[in-house]
Structure 1
Amino acid sequence: MILNTQLEYKGNLFPTNIKSYSKEVDVLHFSTANNVILELTVLRDSILRFRYTTVGKFDNDFSYAIDDESTRGYNHLEIEEDEEKYIITTAKLICNIFKSDLRKSIYDVKDGSVICEDELGFHWEESYELGGDIVKMSKTAQNGESYYGLGDKPQHLNLKGRRFENWATDSYAFGKDTDPIYKAIPFYTGIHHNKAYGIFFDNTFRTYFDFCHERRNVTSFWAQGGEMNYYFFYGPKMQDVVTAYTDLTGTPELPPLWALGYHQCKWSYYPESNVKEITQKFRDLKIPCDAIYLDIDYMEGFRCFTWSKDHFPDPKRMVKELADDGFKTVVIIDPGIKIDNEYSVFKEGLDKDYFCKRADGPYMKGKVWPGECYFPDFTRPEVREWWAGLFKELIEDIGVKGVWNDMNEPAVMDVPGKTFPNDVRHDYDGNPCSHQKAHNIYGMQMARATYHGLKRYNYPKRPFVITRSAYAGTQRYTSTWMGDNVATWEHLQIANIQAQRLALSGFSFAGSDIGGFAEQPNGELYARWIQLGAFHPFCRTHSSGDHGDQEPWAFDDEITNVVRKFIEIRYQLLPYLYTSFYQYSQNKVPMLKSLVLFDQEDHQTHYRTDEFICGEQILICPINEPNAKGRRMYIPKGIWYNFWTKEIMTGGIETWVDADLDSMPIFIKAGAIIPKYPIQQYVGEKNIDQLTLDVYHKDGKEDSELYEDANDGYDYKKRRYSLKKFNLAGTKNKLIVRIHKRGKFITSYDTFKINLIGLPFKVKTIKVDNEYVELKDVQFKNNSLVVSKEFTNLQIKG
């Protein structure tokens, strides 16, 4: 029926016919008879933005998610119309806008196949209780369509058949069906008919996504307020979709290399003697470790930016002594500021009126660890600037190297919903709003302010920040972990899925609390978790501490040896992991790749959850059940070497792989060149005078990369880096490796030790830069040789 000239169906309102259209460069406006406007922006040939208003005008266009440096520009834009529709054509897409109701259909310009089409399309419901509209969008699900993304959701990697809510929530001991949890990242990728597209619903209110759950052939998303504002990305490769989204929302600068080392944490290490005991044991047992964490007990009565004089009488001395032994100190900082007039941080925040307020004037008061607290409004630029300045003593004077932001959903105790009430007000960078809008970005803006504080006071070194809560784009400022998980085998599986899903959602620098935060793992579970964590970008053991110890030596000697072995493997692979981070930071490529991203055309990969690619060339499959001597796993397309046995396997099959407790299924892509450091107890312990290259033979071609710089600082932004591109070409009786170099950084090593793996021939001649060399001159032995790092062409013949 018609109500007030607006089409209505079961309480939902719909756009009516288009009455006018206008174009200004790359922005198109379509206005309907009932005052709806669709603003379509062409960002790139493969990226369109759709923005709707139901009141005839748009609010200020502002987003915390979008990176100012994201790529813009297109090659082709053409607009036509016929009787029933407008037709927008770019170099990659055709988008039809139907004149009768604003519904859209998007096609591949090359073959005309449908990529994504509206079902009901945009519709809304007037929300008299909350104000504004509940904005909705529904899409027709295509045959065989699968869905991925949405950040840290702990359910199956493929989202099809499920419904989700985005509302950052303190979720202690969450399970595989818990929703929502800590993060709100409203981006997903859809795949059907071997083509991938993505949708980023940039709306910070409480949002929902339904992937064919309520209706089998419909995918929908909606929000309890704000605009229907979303970006559409087309691949057709899934990796192109993920990199385009990551480009739009940004990537971090390179971290200091030590941040990719192993970190140890517990609630809590105190007093100082306990911290020293833990760090000394790492060195005594020769288990590499780069960072030690201090949880809330390092503070005076849980007051942020203070130190307990009883537990840590001289923090500056302690932090220096730890640094002298290779340990960087990372401390926790929460958003709640204790109400205490003798506490300078509280007093200054109160005097400057920096704390969040309720709608009718009083400050937002809530209980967290220190007791009753006020909370800074991190959506005000001057508050972020103040917060950044609070880190001067911690970072510049005392020497702390990293900060860990917790409880920033924001979490509040003893209240329904465990967070701020909806009537709390925020500045939102000059766009005043209620907590309904600001909730999901509160943790992001806290992490942003923290990051700028560390960057300022740690300069010329790089900052390291870790956050629990996040919205899209938070990856520009910080790393993350998955929150308060549990020491169970199920949570080991969940950690694997969450890390893959975050990487698919633009947030690669992530890891879980190894061993589980709540409850106590047995030695076998802890060892298996370390094996997985060693291949996650962020690698940290953390536990609640109320159930016993959870250090690498907390079990028996067998477990300690397994843990040491895998942490050592991680330290050997640091140049590979650092190169992966460079590719993520510069090229927006996720550091972890689910098999579906690696090969979307193989439909077997669409429902695989355990296997993933670390970087570009290492295939990992954790053991995630007790008493296992191996497991069945899926080997994707290509030729792969078993890391342990060097046995060659052809992909596209599911197979059994042996893996006793001291092993895990690891495979290396044929043709890969894997750079390795000598084992160090911490980053920078050794002056590296030789770099190892493990070269895996391939009958064909393969490219690899090695990125290096000073491992900290910003000289790399002045071209003081080294980027080596290796081109490998192999046959049954020959192997050629070529190197192309870029950058001005001079590495500390002079030679490569090259391990030739899987050669199908016996080496008879070696040419370096087109000159034959004597085998003894390159120390050739057991298919290993040593050559100058300056070589550009290596030929091995049988």
Structure 2
Amino acid sequence: MKKRILCFCLCLYCIGLWAANASFKKTGNDLLFLLPQGNVKLEFCTDDMFRVRHSQGTVFAENEQWMVRKYDFTPVHYTVEDKGAAWLITTGKLIIEATKNPFCLSVSDKNGKLLYTELAEQRFYKDSVKTKAVLQPDEHFFGFGERMDFMDQRGRKVYLNVELGRGIKPAVGGKDILRANYCPVPFMMSTKGYGLFFHTPFATEWNMGWDSSDYYSFKAFGGDLDYYFIYGPDFYTMVDRYTELTGKSPMLPRFAMGLHVGTYSGGTWKNEEMTSDKYPPALCKRLREEEVPFDLLWLDSTWRLFNTTYGNGGCCFEWRNTFKDPKAMFDSCYAQNVKMVGLHIRSILDNGPEYHLLDKAREQGNVLYPGAKIEGVVNFFDPKAVDWWWENGVMKVASIGAKFVKTDVGGTMDLKGLHNIFPLAYAEAPYRKFQEYNNMRGVTHTREGYAGIQRYPYIWAGDWGSEWQWFEPVIRAGLNIGMSGVGNWTHCMGGFEQYSPYDTELYTRWVQFGMFSPIAMVFGMDHPRYHEPWTYGPEALANFIKYDSLRYTLIPYIYSNAYQLYKTARPMMTPLVMDYPQDENTYQLTRQYMFGPWMMVCPVTTKGALSQHVYFPGGEWFDYETGERYEGRQYKSFLTPLDVLPIYIKAGAIIPMQPVMQWVDQHPVEMITLDVYPSGISSYEMYEDDGISMDYQKGIGSLTRFTSRLADDSWTFTADKPVGKYKPAKHTYLVKAYLQNAPQSVIENGKSLPVLSSVTDAERNTGWFYDIEHKRLYVKTAGDNRQKIEIVVQ
């Protein structure tokens, strides 16, 4: 017994001695803890976000510039108190307890609600660093990048490292959604109101309760233990803060909100001899004749020569001999009002019979990355190498008409510590160069990515087959990556590679989803169809045109939400859990999502489905096709005819729309239609600018605020004058509101408007018409956007 007491006293003495030897140093936003086992630094970014850095010694690594772009923050007020066994740090929003032995953090909000608690576990291992934290009983986790497996990752083990997701070969295809990692992002958000960004370029493993329901952990296979704690408490604030660190998504040209079309120019791999420079202009002509709205075109890999060193994996920037006059091809496409034509490239240089780029790069000496397993990999980390690559390679095609590139296969850098950030450098180089050369916003799109890829400026989901088994996982990938800071995202409508007989139903359903994705892109490798809509029959073509045209009418809404993405990182395609984090019904919903703040889109992902159930979160909802109302907090089943994409509108919605066009800005918009679903008080801001220049970064744009106020016996709708440095074109408004009762009068700015005879009449003349059958009021305003307009309906 005496020995036990002696041991206990000795332990207390050691702890006291340890605590006595621990101290802190406060320098501006940096709080350095000097500990016997190594130093720890807290770097306060804001009063709700701080960085945690552990060192086994006294030195911390220099700040990198590929993932995080912002390290300098305005002064943050915080206090530090020594409580003996722990320090108590307080900011305006957080209370942080840091125990001294062992050093562990516990974070609460300003009201004392516990958010995050670290466990006393070993942090440094031979080949890895790790942190373990308490897993709260009702805690759930979201984010992690372009995950195709699950949304809620509680109870899962997640491995993040850029890779294709190759797995065992199933009957068709060769992809494994459990391993798919085209764009991993080491950032997650908890339903407890906080997020963690693991600031490391190394592969990471997140054990989110896989081993135990009592704890979770995050581990990096190399590098420092360096992470950011981000307090929300809502998901939108967390994503906004994360992208404050890693960069916001830039605005694309307004026309990039339209349809992007990819082509193999008539011949995919093993059919290269069938390619032709006549094919792309002919494709544009057919699209225009069929009245399929589109704005951008790119030629995939078979435009270029495949050479002996790297085959189709290399890029020599030389045209295949089936392209007799590439410049005339570009000119012909642009003459048909295609806004941009681009080309597919690879990150590996190869020799061609004319330019011998690989040999010249070897002679230059600083172009290829030293030590890379594949010799031809361009060193995109080096600005001088990028300049050489641009002048000697890309300019061969940019000078005759190419305006962007598709940067494919970004996982070629095999060196540890560089593998995950190589896609960032690879995507940035052409994005910046083309932006300068074209003197307009860039449009580069890429496949692989990591933390920060949202800057360059959008990615696509990769090469998933045209199979039902991969349809819903692709939707899930889009939802997860939107929660990971990457809002500009797309996929190949109908899938990419064709393994089984053509499935018109799958194509039709996938197209419906594709038109309600952040970026709309149609492309496929299937020879000879290439997912061109008329090849699936007249009904599939009609469906394609229907939803493509609907997308083009929604351009004002889509573009306004693109501006919000740029300002706040709010994704265009949003999982319901972001708006309803306390509703566990939303945690694994992947067949429905919000498109912008008002439209709930519910793709049909089951072959032959005659019906599908939908979950309505709290509030009131309207069927977009019929106008029927539904109360929230319920599941309901609906019939699913093939030509209808289920869409439901949140009560209070205000959705700006424009006339259908065959390409964006084909005609001046003389009238904006406002699709309104009155409920209480709601508002929405429509954003406008020149749609093409970088002036938006200088704040040169305008916002027009619309407000709806529904009372017991009246409805008031206001359209404010545009506010901002940009002067938008003049237009009137057609307000279309869903009201249960026919009005007695409609007054605009104090003057009664005349009653009109039909919807068509209301679309052309000032006045109002009430559609009794569909309970819709149409009001064509007398005033325009140069003045404030107030409409009072009684």
2:490 to 480, 493, 511: 511
Q: Is the 8 A contact 1:188 1:505 kept in 2?
A: yes
Question: RMSD between aligned alpha carbons?
Answer: 2.2
**Which structure carries more strand by proportion?**
1
Shift of the 340–527 alpha-carbon distance from structure 1 to 2, 3 Å rule, reads closer
1:48-127 alignment, distance < 5 Å: 48-68=50-70, 72-73=73-74, 76-110=77-111, 112-120=112-120, 123-127=123-127
Partner of 1:345: 357
Percent identity over the alignment is 25
Q: Is the 8 A contact 1:167 1:180 kept in 2?
A: no
2:471 to 463, 475, 492: 492
**Residues 592-601 or 500-509, more deviating:** 592-601
Distance 1:126 1:710 in 2: 55
Distance 2:193 2:346 in 1: 39
Partner of 2:444: 465
> Is the counterpart of residue 310 in structure 1 residue 321 in structure 2?
yes
Partner of 2:47: 45
Partner of 1:165: 159
Shift of the 442–64 alpha-carbon distance from structure 1 to 2, 3 Å rule, reads same
Distance 2:276 2:411 in 1: 29
1:581 to 562, 566, 581: 562
1:272-421 alignment, distance < 5 Å: 272-301=277-306, 304=315, 306-308=317-319, 310-327=321-338, 328-339=340-351, 343-357=355-369, 359=371, 364=372, 366=374, 374-389=376-391, 393=395, 397-410=399-412, 420=414
For residue 779 of structure 1, what is the amino acid of its counterpart? G
Partner of 2:11: none
Shift of the 340–526 alpha-carbon distance from structure 1 to 2, 3 Å rule, reads closer
> Is the counterpart of residue 200 in structure 1 residue 194 in structure 2?
no
Q: Is the 8 A contact 1:405 1:467 kept in 2?
A: yes
Partner of 1:130: none
For residue 711 of structure 1, what is the amino acid of its counterpart? G
What is the CA-CA distance between 1:612 and the residue it aligns to? 0.9
The secondary structure found in structure 1 opposite 2:612 is strand
The secondary structure found in structure 1 opposite 2:625 is coil
State the TM-score, normalized to the length of structure 1: 0.88
What is the CA-CA distance between 1:617 and the residue it aligns to? 0.8
> Is the counterpart of residue 26 in structure 1 residue 60 in structure 2?
no
Shift of the 286–382 alpha-carbon distance from structure 1 to 2, 3 Å rule, reads same
Q: Is the 8 A contact 2:318 2:355 kept in 1?
A: no
The secondary structure found in structure 2 opposite 1:226 is coil
Distance 2:525 2:629 in 1: 43
Partner of 1:153: 147
Partner of 1:725: 705
The secondary structure found in structure 1 opposite 2:718 is strand
> Is the counterpart of residue 793 in structure 1 residue 789 in structure 2?
yes
Distance 2:174 2:786 in 1: 52
The number of residues matched between the two structures is 737
The secondary structure found in structure 1 opposite 2:459 is strand
Distance 1:447 1:732 in 2: 54
Distance 2:699 2:190 in 1: 38
Q: Is the 8 A contact 1:166 1:180 kept in 2?
A: no
The secondary structure found in structure 2 opposite 1:164 is strand
What is the CA-CA distance between 1:101 and the residue it aligns to? 0.8
Per-residue CA deviation, residues 145-201 of structure 1 (Å, 9 max, x unaligned), is 11111111111111112112222113465656431521231000111xxx3210000
Partner of 1:234: 231
Distance 1:719 1:228 in 2: 38
Distance 1:695 1:548 in 2: 40
For residue 195 of structure 2, what is the amino acid of its counterpart? G
**Residues 140-149 or 253-262, more deviating:** 253-262
Shift of the 388–93 alpha-carbon distance from structure 1 to 2, 3 Å rule, reads farther
**Residues 500-509 or 546-555, more deviating:** 546-555
> Is the counterpart of residue 216 in structure 1 residue 213 in structure 2?
yes
For residue 517 of structure 2, what is the amino acid of its counterpart? H
The secondary structure found in structure 1 opposite 2:153 is coil
Shift of the 672–74 alpha-carbon distance from structure 1 to 2, 3 Å rule, reads farther
Shift of the 20–755 alpha-carbon distance from structure 1 to 2, 3 Å rule, reads same
1:566-645 alignment, distance < 5 Å: 566-645=547-626
Distance 1:136 1:547 in 2: 51
Partner of 1:430: none
Partner of 1:476: 455
Distance 1:158 1:236 in 2: 17
Q: Is the 8 A contact 2:367 2:384 kept in 1?
A: no
What is the CA-CA distance between 1:791 and the residue it aligns to? 4.2
**Residues 553-562 or 745-754, more deviating:** 745-754
**Residues 586-595 or 265-274, more deviating:** 265-274
For residue 253 of structure 1, what is the amino acid of its counterpart? P
Shift of the 177–463 alpha-carbon distance from structure 1 to 2, 3 Å rule, reads closer
Distance 2:86 2:519 in 1: 49
What is the CA-CA distance between 1:26 and the residue it aligns to? 1.2
Distance 2:754 2:681 in 1: 26
Q: Is the 8 A contact 2:265 2:280 kept in 1?
A: no
What is the CA-CA distance between 1:141 and the residue it aligns to? 0.5
Distance 1:93 1:718 in 2: 33
Partner of 1:716: 696
Partner of 2:169: none
> Is the counterpart of residue 778 in structure 1 residue 766 in structure 2?
yes
Structure 1: segments with no counterpart, 5+ residues: 1-14, 128-133, 367-372, 411-418, 421-434
Q: Is the 8 A contact 1:484 1:517 kept in 2?
A: yes
Distance 2:18 2:206 in 1: 25
What is the CA-CA distance between 1:504 and the residue it aligns to? 0.2
Q: Is the 8 A contact 1:709 1:745 kept in 2?
A: yes
Shift of the 664–336 alpha-carbon distance from structure 1 to 2, 3 Å rule, reads same
Distance 1:157 1:291 in 2: 32
For residue 331 of structure 2, what is the amino acid of its counterpart? K
Partner of 2:669: 688
What is the CA-CA distance between 1:259 and the residue it aligns to? 1.5
Per-residue CA deviation, residues 292-341 of structure 1 (Å, 9 max, x unaligned), is 22111111336636342522222222112111212221211210101468
Q: Is the 8 A contact 1:233 1:245 kept in 2?
A: yes
Partner of 1:182: 182
Q: Is the 8 A contact 1:268 1:545 kept in 2?
A: no
Q: Is the 8 A contact 1:387 1:450 kept in 2?
A: no
Per-residue CA deviation, residues 367-392 of structure 1 (Å, 9 max, x unaligned), is xxxxxx61111122322333344576
The secondary structure found in structure 1 opposite 2:587 is helix
For residue 28 of structure 1, what is the amino acid of its counterpart? L
Q: Is the 8 A contact 2:681 2:710 kept in 1?
A: yes
Per-residue CA deviation, residues 770-796 of structure 1 (Å, 9 max, x unaligned), is 343444572323421222233423223
